[in-house]
Structure 1
Amino acid sequence: MKMKLALFCYSFNVIGLFIFGLIYTFSGEFLPFHSDAIQMSWDDLSSPQQTLYLGMMRTEGAGLLASAIAIAALLMFPFRKREVWSYWAMTLIGVVENVPSMLGAYYTSLATPASSPWQLNLLGIVLLVLGLAFALGDRKR
């Protein structure tokens, strides 16, 4: 049962990171909370500003997708074999992706009128830690 819970926790991160990675990578303009943060609409930005925003979003999207793919690969192979190192690797990959994103979104929410979704990153981090605890707790002693 603990391994199923761990699988859920890690899979939630894979799905979330993958969905947001796709959104950030393939969006043609910034998201509504970005507009709220800078108090400008996409159409009010100059072409160079739009290019810069899309470049930053695609860079973030690539990191999200890379993290999702890495965790998914670890789930498919070493996790299924109950290789303990994979539990730590998945947690580390997810935390390294989620913490900076969460901090950036959190500080944006504090400093601007935007409601950046930092809570989703926090949920991902909590689930990663729970996934690690469940997986390690299932080990036969």
Structure 2
Amino acid sequence: MIHVFANLCKYATAVISLLFGIVYLSKPSFLGYHKQAVQRNWEELDQQVQTLILAPMRALSGAALTYGFLVIVLQYQFSSSVQNWIPVTILVSGGIIPSAPLYAMFLVKIKTAGKPPVTVVLFTVLLLVIGYLLNTYAGEAHIGGAE
């Protein structure tokens, strides 16, 4: 049963990351919190400024999509055959990838009127940690023969 909850946490993390990546990749203009931060409509910005806003969004989308797929593949592998390096790999990569965007979001939140989705990212990190703890426990139970 612990394994099921670990899977739910990890796959939810992956889905949120994939959705985040898809939105940031496919959006033709900035998001609502960007508008709040710059206090202008998209059409009011020069094309160069629009490009400077979209470029980091596209780069971040690549990281989010990669991480989402990484979690799905590794969690599926862990479910098939318990390998203790997998939960650590998911945790470390899941700690590194959102750290720069979180820092950027906190800067936007502190220095502008923008309200970036900090809570969603923090919730995803929380799911990641819970999934790690459950995976670790499930892995130990599997090795000890208790599961």
For normalisation by structure 2, the TM-score amounts to: 0.90
Instruction: Give structure 1 stretches of 5+ with no counterpart.
Output: none
Q: Displacement, 1:36?
A: 0.5
Any idea what SS the aligned residue of 1:56 has? helix
Gaps of 5+ in 2: none
Contact 1:9 1:130 in 2 (8 A): yes
1:60 corresponds in structure 2 to 60
Q: CA deviation at 1:108?
A: 1.1
Q: Which amino acid aligns with 2:134?
A: F
1:135 aligned to 2:132? no
In 2, Cα distance between equivalents of 1:78 and 1:137 = 13
CA deviation profile, 1:48-94 (whole Å, cap 9, x unmatched): 11112111110111111011111111122234311111111111121
TM-score, structure 1 length as denominator?
0.94
Query: Aligned partners of 2:46 and 2:137: how far apart in 1?
Result: 54
Larger radius of gyration: 2
- Counterpart of 1:98, as a letter, is P
Aligned to 1:30: 30
The one-letter code of the counterpart of 2:88 is: W
Are the equivalent residues in 2 in contact too, given 1:24–1:60 (CA < 8 A)? Answer: yes
| AA aligned opposite 1:38 | V
Aligned residues: 141
Separation in 2, partners of 1:78, 1:3: 10
**Aligned to 2:120, what secondary structure does the other structure show?**
helix
Query: How far apart, CA to CA, are the structure 1 residues paired with 2:2 and 2:78?
Result: 16
User: Equivalent residues in 2 for 1:48-87 (5 A)?
Assistant: 48-87=48-87
Q: In structure 1, how many angstroms separate the alpha carbons of the residues matched to 2:99 and 2:121?
A: 7
CA RMSD of aligned residues (A): 1.2
TM-superposed CA distance for 1:135, in Å, is 1.1
